[in-house]
């Protein structure tokens, strides 16, 4: 990681960060308090990552994160509209260049899992504990967010 950072100092200090939106997809274990987090492999390097992608025209950030979760992992669910955290990383671009990115993360409580999605067969998907998810990903800030991840409760509508 430090070697990658050293190669792009001008970009890092020019404020040229690119925005992305990601999803921390989780499910409860046996309807209890414990959770599992979905990790997927990247298509190019087969590294463990979470679903994420670029902003989408006409979509709010949380909507873009939910779409990425569906396209990359075949999951849908209840998405929180406010980010639960953010992390930075260096994205290898198709032209061989590297772009520093900031990823805002949105909580997605998975309700539906499908085998019929855009990138099916291009990635490996696994449900793991938050600690195991943190061990698998490379980005230090993301590791910290996964270990400390706490489910934000559902909004309660005027109980009467």
- Check residue 157 and give its pLDDT: 40
Q: Does domain 2-147 have CATH number 3.90.79.10?
A: yes
- Check residue 152 and give its pLDDT: 74
**Neighbour tally for 140: CB within 10 Å:** 13
Domain chopping of the chain, boundaries: 2-147
CA 148, 154, 155: angle at the middle one, nearest 5? 125
Helix (H, G, I), strand (E, B) or coil at 121: coil
What span, in angstroms and rounded, lies between the C-alpha atoms of 43 and 39?
Answer: 13
- Check residue 159 and give its pLDDT: 35
- Check residue 7 and give its pLDDT: 54
Q: Tell me the average confidence (pLDDT) per consecutive run of 10 residues in the chain, 160 residues long.
A: 55 72 95 91 91 97 98 96 96 87 97 89 94 97 94 52
DSSP state of 86: E
């Amino acid at each position: 990681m430090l070697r990658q950072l050293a190669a792009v100092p001008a970009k890092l200090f020019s404020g040229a960060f690119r925005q992305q939106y990601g999803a921390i997809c989780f499910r409860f274990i046996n309807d209890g308090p414990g959770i599992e987090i979905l990790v997927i492999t990247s298509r190019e390097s087969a590294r463990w990552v979470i679903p994420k992608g670029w902003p989408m025209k006409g979509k709010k950030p949380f909507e873009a994160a939910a779409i990425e979760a569906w396209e990359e992992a075949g999951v849908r669910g209840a998405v929180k509209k406010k980010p639960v955290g953010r992390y930075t990383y260096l994205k290898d671009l198709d032209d061989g260049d590297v772009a520093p990115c900031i990823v805002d993360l949105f909580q997605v409580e998975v309700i539906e899992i499908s085998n019929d999605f855009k990138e099916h067969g291009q990635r490996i998907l696994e449900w793991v504990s938050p600690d195991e998810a943190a061990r698998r990903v490379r980005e230090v800030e993301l590791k910290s967010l996964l270990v400390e991840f706490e489910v934000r409760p559902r909004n309660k509508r005027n109980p009467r």
